[in-house]
């Protein structure tokens, strides 16, 4: 029985790039350690979720961990809130929110309050409160964006938006879409009226008005979602599990799944992360655990930037860090793959599959000797992300016998 | 975002043929354009419906278009009627029918009225009518075969056959299998008694009797099926869609799915079709649409004929027509595959998978450089037909992002 190290290189898959002579960043990279893993293991392509699906990192990580997003993905609210580093517990209701400008007659004149350039932390803190037994937490996103999380008993996400989704109208009263949501709607309307008073008189907004900027005096809510209750990962697979991830949304998902979120100093979620430290931290975390997930965000960042050469380089930096894994392959089964493709030519996620390699000492090999999108396609595996965990359980000799 | 051209070469897959030195028609064909697509795209095998299923063209086209035949395939009636070029709308009830011989005592003495050699169009027209608010349309098939379509309100297919399925018995009274089908059964029994009178005295049958042939004086009905209501293809995939097909059954399915059935002069559904004109028509149709399906029936015809050399030749003729596609690969994603295999050695459909190639400029390639059943099996794809549309949506950058 081996321990499992699952390395998700975010947005790993790519398409041919002219500037790399028709290669992907992965094909162009010097990657002796990834190639060592390929030539000592099994290889193939993995479709995130399903053939052709263009997933977000949230839905694909859920699927990779063995949670069916069609059952547990409750809309963007909870996942965006986690993405802002908010703690979201099962049963919490989370919203995407905008700071907007409401005129004296209560009409929303700008849904973005002129796109706010300064941080809104002060405003968010001012309207975070407990009210009617419910805890309201607001955290800032980019510009006018924010997220709201409600924590309390018997809350429901079956409520309407307050966001009118167009200007020239007042914000909507929140109304219940199901009878059992009436308590939630009532508390929320009370909260929003309190928040309006605070925002109207807040120094942040008085200063904006003085400067001639639109005050951010209304919090528009949309996309209510109830944070899902995930079956604990540790129970599901009988493994003590942790993760080493730089990006808050993935940390939030792992936390919801009951995995230990292992901190390390150099984690940044950017291309300048401490790659060596991240893998070292993961290997140390495995000493007291059976399973560790590592997310390396950098390839996705390079893909969104449309920068093939940066993508090549972050893969080389990652590869160098992977050297630490090879001496441990007696005790550890390692899998390296992506959560989705982020081709530089698109600067966005695509429906292309991602390469996958799974290696440990003593396992059957499939003759593939390099790790990249094209060579992997000649390997022995063609799977969907939902099959990855059971496959890893099988190959690490952790699967329960099914039958006699 | 690219437009999608999906070319279904009907019955494309084959098995080794002695007369082609152990090759399939596809392997033996000179096919520079198909090979160009293979070497510039992704390749693989597609199982129609599911591994090992031996589909009809109807069930496989439904599955390819993303409709689960287990949900929407309501028996052969509606699809055979479409196959005879009959217009079938959602909710219509369609039957397979035989012209049979009934003796003076009402006993069916021959279920095929001696297999009729002359066309039965006159007879079919004579018994097409409106009765009790229901429209009855009959169209001839081969020999004694025909199809009946009932159009009207509140019709049900939960009724028994009138066909006794053996001679020496009278035809059965149609009876409802569900209470709500009693109206349908009643109207149908009334119709059949009217049809008997017309058939008994029709000049076509008087002439047959004079000649000593059995009169075709009874229409035996079997396999009632309600034409399914398909979710509109255009809405399902947010694409304006059309088809260029020579065979009525596939045109009928596309029509049920709300796709434009684009006519062109040279379409025959035989091996002598105007291949170049068909592809030109499809490319023109794509100028004002996002998706066009082309069905080329010829390989299936050659397979049913058990003629490997003819199969090789119709593939070469198709390949020549595909030359027009290659200059358009900047804007168009093209997929070429079959709906099923029709091996010449079987002269029938088989459960063998079909080769699949998907190509557009700038996409990832998988190193496969020829298009045939064997080489495709080394490609990056192993899919079921039900996954084809989502895959094409993903690779043409048309998929909605699922998650954040």
pLDDT band at B404 (very low <50, low <70, confident <90, very high): confident
Cα dihedral across residues A197, A200, A203, A205: positive or negative: positive
Same domain, A240 and A351: yes
Determine contact: B400 vs chain A, CB below 8 A.
Answer: yes
Same domain, B31 and B100: no
Which pLDDT score, from 0 to 100, does residue A75 have? 77
Q: Which of B44, B333, B361, B364 to mutate to test the interface with A (most CBs of A within 10 A)?
A: B364
Instruction: Give chain B's mean pLDDT.
Output: 94
- Statement to judge: residues A259 and A210 lie in one domain: no
Tell me the residues of chain A between 163 and 182 that have a Cβ less than 8 Å away from chain B.
none
On whether residue B211 sits in a domain, the answer given is yes
pLDDT tens for residues B364-391?
999 999 999 999 999 999 999 999 999 9
Token pair in block for residue A376: 């992997």
A115 pLDDT band (50/70/90 cuts)?
A: confident
Same domain, A208 and A270: no
**B93-117 tens-digit pLDDT:** 999 999 999 999 999 999 999 888 8
- Measure the CA angle with vertex A302, ends A297 and A21; round to 5°: 135
Q: What is the pLDDT of residue B82?
A: 86
Q: How many residues does chain A have?
A: 404
Mean pLDDT over residues A159-177, rounded? 94
Give the pLDDT confidence of A173-214 residue by residue, as tens digits: 999 999 999 999 999 999 999 999 999 999 999 999 999 999
Does residue A403 lie within any of the structural domains? no
Of the residues B226, B254, B275, the one at which a domain ends: B226
pLDDT at A386: 97
A377 → chain B, closest CA residue: B380
> Cα(B205)–Cα(B221) distance, rounded to whole angstroms?
19
Answer yes or no: do B312 and B360 share one domain.
Answer: yes
pLDDT for B277-330, tens place per residue? Answer: 999 999 999 999 999 999 999 999 999 999 999 999 999 999 999 999 999 999
Residue B400 lies in a domain: no
Q: What's the pLDDT at B77?
A: 84
CATH number for the domain harbouring residue B278: 3.40.720.10
Closest by CA position to A65, among listed A324, A335, A277: A335
Q: Tell whether B330 lies on the interface with A, counting CB pairs under 8 A.
A: no
Q: Answer whether residue B214 is part of any domain.
A: yes
pTM for the full predicted model:
0.86
Position B402 in a domain? no
The pLDDT value given to residue B395: 96
Residues A196 and A337 in one domain: no
**B185 with B192: CB under 8 angstroms?**
no
* pLDDT the model gives residue B60: 96
- Which domain, by its residues, includes A379? 3-73+229-395
The lowest-confidence range among A44-48, A255-259, A306-310 is A255-259
| B293 shares a domain with B214 | no
- Both tokens assigned to A355: 């390469």
Residues A278 and A292 in one domain: yes
Residues B380 and B245 in one domain: yes
Work out the pLDDT band at A404, boundaries 50, 70, 90: confident
Say if the Cβ atoms of A15 and B400 lie within 8 Å.
Answer: no
Is pLDDT at B270 greater than 80 in this prediction?
no
Please compute the mean of the pLDDT values over residues A332-337 and round it to a whole number.
98
Residues B200, B305, single domain; the answer is no
Q: Pick from A86, A120, A63, A85: which is nearest to A269 by CA?
A: A85
Is A404 inside a domain boundary?
Answer: no
- For residue B227, give both structure tokens: 């034409």
Distance set, CA B319 to CA A344, B39, B163, B336, B371 (Å): 33, 15, 46, 11, 11
Look at B226-230, B237-241, B320-324 and tell me which has the smallest mean pLDDT.
Answer: B226-230
Q: Which residues in B187-210 are b (16+ Cβ under 10 Å) and which e?
A: bbbebbeebbeebeebebbeebee
Output B193 or A249, whichever has higher pLDDT: B193
Q: What mean pLDDT do residues A118-122 have? A: 92
Averaged pLDDT, A374-387: 95
Q: What pLDDT score was predicted for residue A53?
A: 95
Phi-psi region of B182 (alpha: psi -120 to 50; beta: other; left: phi over 0): alpha
Chain A residues whose beta carbon lies within 8 Å of the beta carbon of residue B382: 382
B-chain residue closest to A375, CA distance:
B366
Q: How many domains does one find in chain A? A: 2
Residue B200 falls inside a structural domain = yes
Q: Which residues from chain A sit within 8 angstroms of residue B366, using beta carbons?
A: 374, 377-378
Q: Give the domain-ending residue among A226, A257, A292.
A: A226
Answer yes or no: do B239 and B325 share one domain: yes
Q: What is the per-residue pLDDT across A232-282, written as a single tens digit (0 to 9) for each? A: 999 999 999 999 998 888 988 999 999 999 988 777 767 888 999 999 999
A352 at B interface, C-beta within 8 A: yes
What integer pLDDT is reported at residue A223 of this predicted model? Answer: 86
Last residue of a domain, one of A210, A226, A242: A226
Residues B260 and B217 in one domain: no
pLDDT-above-90 percentage for chain A: 85
Whether residue A143 is predicted with pLDDT greater than 90 in this model: the reply is no
pLDDT at A141 over 80: yes
**Residue B364 contacts A, CB cutoff 8 Å:** yes
pLDDT tens track for A53-100: 999 999 999 999 999 999 999 877 888 888 888 988 989 999 999 999
Whether A205 is in a domain gets the answer yes
Q: Which of B362, B367, B379 sits opposite A16 (nearest CB)?
A: B362
Share of chain B above pLDDT 90, in %: 86
Find residues 17-46 of chain A whose CB sits inside 8 Å of chain B. Answer: 24, 45
């Amino acid at each position: 029985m081996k321990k499992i190290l699952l390395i998700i290189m975010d947005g790993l898959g790519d398409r041919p790039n002219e500037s790399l002579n028709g290669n992907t960043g992965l094909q162009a990279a010097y990657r002796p350690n990834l190639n060592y893993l390929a030539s000592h293991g099994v290889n193939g392509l993995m479709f995130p979720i399903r053939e052709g699906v263009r997933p977000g990192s949230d839905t694909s990580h859920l699927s990779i961990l063995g949670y069916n997003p069609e059952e547990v993905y409750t809309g963007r609210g909870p996942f965006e809130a986690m993405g802002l580093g908010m703690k979201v517990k099962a049963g919490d209701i989370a919203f995407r929110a905008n700071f907007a400008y409401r005129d004296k007659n209560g009409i929303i004149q700008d849904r973005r309050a002129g796109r706010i350039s300064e941080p809104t932390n002060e405003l968010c803190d001012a309207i975070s409160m407990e009210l009617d037994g419910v805890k309201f937490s607001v955290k800032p996103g980019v510009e006018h964006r924010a997220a709201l999380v409600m924590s309390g008993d018997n809350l429901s996400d079956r409520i309407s938006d307050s966001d009118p989704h167009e200007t020239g109208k007042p914000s909507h009263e929140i109304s219940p879409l199901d009878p059992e949501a009436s308590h939630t709607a009532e508390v929320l309307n009370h909260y929003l009226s309190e928040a309006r008073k605070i925002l109207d008189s807040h120094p942040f907004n008085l200063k904006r008005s003085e400067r001639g900027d639109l005050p951010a005096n209304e919090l528009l809510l949309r996309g209510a979602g109830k944070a899902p209750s995930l079956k604990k990962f540790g129970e599901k697979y009988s493994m003590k599990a942790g993760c080493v991830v730089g990006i808050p949304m993935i940390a939030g998902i792992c936390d919801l799944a009951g995995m230990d979120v292992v901190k390390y100093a150099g984690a940044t979620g950017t291309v300048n992360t401490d790659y060596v430290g991240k893998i070292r931290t993961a290997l140390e975390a495995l000493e007291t655990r059976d399973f560790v997930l590592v997310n390396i965000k950098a390839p996705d960042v390079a893909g969104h930037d449309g920068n093939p050469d940066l993508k090549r380089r972050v893969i080389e930096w990652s590869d160098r860090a992977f050297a630490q894994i090879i001496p441990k392959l007696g005790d550890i089964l390692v899998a390296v793959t992506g959560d989705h493709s982020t081709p530089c030519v698109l600067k966005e996620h695509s429906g292309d599959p991602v390469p996958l390699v799974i290696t440990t000492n003593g396992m059957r090999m499939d003759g593939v000797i390099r790790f990249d999108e094209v060579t992997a396609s000649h390997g022995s595996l063609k799977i969907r992300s939902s099959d990855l965990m059971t496959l890893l359980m099988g190959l690490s000799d952790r699967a329960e016998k099914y039958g006699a």
